[in-house]
Amino acid sequence: MPELPEVEVVRAGLERHVVDSTIRAVEVLHPRPVRRDHRGSTGFVAALVGRRIEAVRRRGKYFWIALDNGDALLGHLGMSGQMLLHEPGAPDERHLRVRFTLATPEARPLEMRFVDQRMFGGLAVSAGGAELPTEIVHIARDPIDPDFDDAEFVRRARRRTSAIKRLLLDQGLISGVGNIYADEALWRARLHGERPGDRLTGQVLRGLLGHVRDVMGEALAQGGTSFDALYVNVNGESGYFDRSLDAYGQEGEPCRRCGTPIRRVAFMNRSSYFCPRCQRPPRRR
């Protein structure tokens, strides 16, 4: 699933190309991606046509396009969603689900397309959601948000007995961090993902936050992590941070610090990757 860096790459690409454009037409080619909009496909279209795009924002793994009437087009990429920009007439993608025809400030036509093979992602119009859609107010700020409260994160994490990796994935505590970047940050911090939050010092947790930010910053600079053709930016280009991964997906490969083979274990219907020497498991209580 795309994580914060991948969604931020998409948000920034949209911001560069669609702000101040007007939505001239919307075509819903499959109803499932707009299933969360209570208006249905027809109402979804009616709420967007004629609106001008004022900004593109993000919180965690959600992005939204702020409109001139105070509403917002809220989006989540799910497992395989893509927001692509094309000149009109470009061949349709096989899994094209929603097409937006835009008029840029220069009156140049432009198509914004939501493409989603597995259709776990989706789009919806959020009434009055231009600043922050009500649908995602429960999601915490992410660690690259300048208003993220490090001290509050440390305080809350130290009161929890949950494993630190589970805390990193808790979108009510810290948003945008997924399986890939959690494993990478924990490897850098030399922390095993099963270490309980209440057994970590404030200094250790602040250091971990620093590693989370470093990993995400490097991933952003490289366009995110792409393991297949499903994650791309708005121009259809893949990121290449997967070439820099130290832990995630590296099972059996030597740890870049100590040479011990990276180990994989089952974790919440997914996998965790860690160095058994650098990241010692916690002692049982």
User: Cα–Cα distances in Å, from 206 out to 185, 213, 240, 270, 277?
Assistant: 12, 11, 28, 26, 22
- Residue 184, H or E segment: helix 179-189
In this structure, the dihedral spanned by the alpha carbons of residues 140, 199, 181 and 222, taken in order and rounded to 10 degrees, is 90
Active-site hit among 3, 6, 184, 194: 3
Active-site hit among 11, 51, 57, 61: 61
The pair of structure tokens assigned to 179 is 């399986």
115: β partners: 82, 96
CB of 233 closer than 8 Å to CB of 9: yes
270 classed as catalytic: yes
Taking alpha carbons only, the member of 193, 184, 140, 187 closest to residue 164 is 193
CB of 164 closer than 8 Å to CB of 193: yes
118 known ligand binder: yes
86 known ligand binder: no
SS (H, E, C) 137-172: CCCCCCCCCCCCCHHHHHHHHCCCCCEHHHHHCCCC
Active-site hit among 32, 108, 206, 270: 270
196: β partners: 163
Taking alpha carbons only, the member of 53, 48, 43, 51 closest to residue 14 is 53
264 classed as catalytic: no
251 classed as catalytic: no
61 classed as catalytic: yes
95 known ligand binder: yes
Binding site residue list = 95, 118, 160
Query: Which active-site residues does the annotation give?
Result: 2-3, 61, 270
Task: List residues forming the annotated binding site for DNA.
Answer: 95, 118, 160
